[in-house]
Structure 1
Amino acid sequence: MIATQDIGGLEVFSCLPNGNTDKPALLFIHGAFAGGWMWTETFMPHFAAAGHPCYALSLRGHGGSQGHEQINWLSIADYVDDVRSVIDALAIDPVLLGHSMGGFVVQKYLERYPAPAAALLCSVPPQGLIAAQFHLMLQKPELFLEINRILAGNYTDTDTLRDALFAGEADPAMLAIWLGKMQNESQRAIWDMSMFNLPNLYHMHRPPMLIVGADQDALVPAFLVQTTAHTYGQPSHILHNMGHAITHEKEWPRAAAIIQTWLDGLRP
């Protein structure tokens, strides 16, 4: 069962296992244009059923959190502060799982704080967004222009959403729900991820890491996921016939299985 609470103006979802557990807590961090809601239908119930206390926050300016009126001025450092404040308030030491922009936030978090482990899922690479932006502009120029319209606060449609996030068939009802929940993103955060606040690799804590991508990802292509893995000296796990939204592709359990196997391997 998903519960929701307010922690210092931040919307925090939780899904807890039945009974006591010795498995580590998980904190899910969403990507750009989204909110903590993106984890509540699939990953959180799945991993809670496997015995992990699961939490997901909506970063400030996202979902049900405060700060929407300042969205364009919010930085990646602000998002890192949000993650830390939730961890402190919940008094947990969670494994961090970040998707897309959330994976970048995890990397910046590790500059300042340790973590038991971290999973980067279709994550913005430590080298930033520039290569991904050029790749999208060359491969799918119409989608590139539409995403820039969304960033400027303009409305899009379910066809664009499907092209951006999914490789396989996507349920039209689910797309309509996502379209109603998605929002504009902080332009300052986008600039941070492009070139102005990239991870300092020499100052990062280096916990066990999992690097996952998708071979049909239009936004963070597989070659950049492999670059991230190489940077951190880790193998990459590339999901076949899946797009950016690995949490909601019809075969999302394949992604969850990779994560679960990794989590199980963390235990002494």
Structure 2
Amino acid sequence: MEKPVLMIHGVGCGGDAWSVVAPLMQARGWTPYTPTLFPQFRVKENPTGQLATLGLHDYVEAAKAEALAIERATGEEPVLMGHSMGGLIVQKLAEQGVGKAAVLVTPAQPVDCQVQDLRVLFTFANIVLKGDPRQTYKVWKTGFRWGVLNQVPAARHHDIYASALYDSGLVYQHLGKPMTDPHRIAVIDEQAIACPILTIGAVQDRATVIQAVRKVAQKYARIGGDYREYDGAAHWIIDEPRTVDMVGDVCDWLHRKGL
């Protein structure tokens, strides 16, 4: 029996962000699916104007379509695993009853768990300063290296940044100012979530800071959710020295949940 896991990437990233995690999961018996949301619009250079029309709701619907397609193809409901923005998408899908379990890796926060922090503002400074949701953006290289890759060896920064994608300014606004989103994606009713849920935090994270991720964990602890926290790790825990530890813990947790 296939054990599918749908991995949903973060903002400014594609499915290739899971290139380390996916084979580690596969070695433990899981079948990883790592799509890139809207690959025709979310590109490395010269994005079209259509990208700027997409909101966070569109990304949720695209991820939901992927999950349902996996279930139709395999006969098995997938585990949902989301990094950063993907972590918020997974929360919304879990609220809607999609997925047999939810794993939130350094997730973007629901509205009731957000923390204002200068580290986040610096990481995304080029987007914050421009502040126009009608535009498209790629996170500036300095911010990405300082705020996302700060636990990755510096020699690897150039190659990782080379895979960064342009993303919708409207999506960035819905993440940073969630109450501007008419679909209220970041408003999550944890009591509506029936599946097991695991939150993963990284102490040195400068993009989804640990104080905020701990609040996410506390939110889901109210419904029996679990939490793992990693010192010596940061936002790019999907490809850092502690990635192997994190994936092992995720697989062990899924096993304990009978999945």
- Same fold per TM (> 0.5)? yes
Question: Following superposition of structure 1 onto structure 2, how do residues 16-95 of structure 1 map, counting pairs within 5 Å?
Answer: 22=1, 24-40=3-19, 42-60=20-38, 61-62=41-42, 69-90=49-70, 91=72, 92-95=76-79
Name the residue aligned to 1:245: 236
Of structures 1 and 2, the one with the larger relative CO (CA 8 A, separation 6+) is 2
Please state how far the C-alpha of 1:167 moved relative to its aligned partner: 3.5
The count of aligned residue pairs is 238
Query: Normalization by structure 2: what TM-score?
Result: 0.81
Name the residue aligned to 2:109: 125
CA–CA separation in structure 2 for the residues paired with 1:109 and 1:183: 24
Asked if 2 retains the 8 angstrom alpha-carbon contact of 1:25 and 1:52, the reply is: yes
4+ residue runs over 4 A deviation: 139-142, 149-152
CA–CA separation in structure 1 for the residues paired with 2:15 and 2:48: 15
Unaligned residue ranges in structure 2 (runs of 5+) = none
CA–CA separation in structure 1 for the residues paired with 2:162 and 2:201: 26
Determine helix, strand or coil for the equivalent of 1:230: helix
C-alpha RMSD of matched pairs (Å): 2.6
Match of 2:153 among 170, 174, 177: 170
CA–CA separation in structure 2 for the residues paired with 1:216 and 1:242: 6
Please state how far the C-alpha of 1:53 moved relative to its aligned partner: 0.8
CA–CA separation in structure 1 for the residues paired with 2:201 and 2:23: 22
Name the residue aligned to 2:245: 254
Please state how far the C-alpha of 1:68 moved relative to its aligned partner: 5.2
Match of 1:182 among 164, 177, 190: 164
Amino acid at match of 1:195: P
Unaligned residue ranges in structure 1 (runs of 5+) = 1-21
Given the alignment of the two structures, is residue 104 of structure 1 paired with residue 88 of structure 2, yes or no? yes
Match of 2:143 among 149, 160, 163: 160
Determine helix, strand or coil for the equivalent of 1:93: coil
Match of 1:115 among 69, 81, 99: 99
Given the alignment of the two structures, is residue 264 of structure 1 paired with residue 255 of structure 2, yes or no? yes
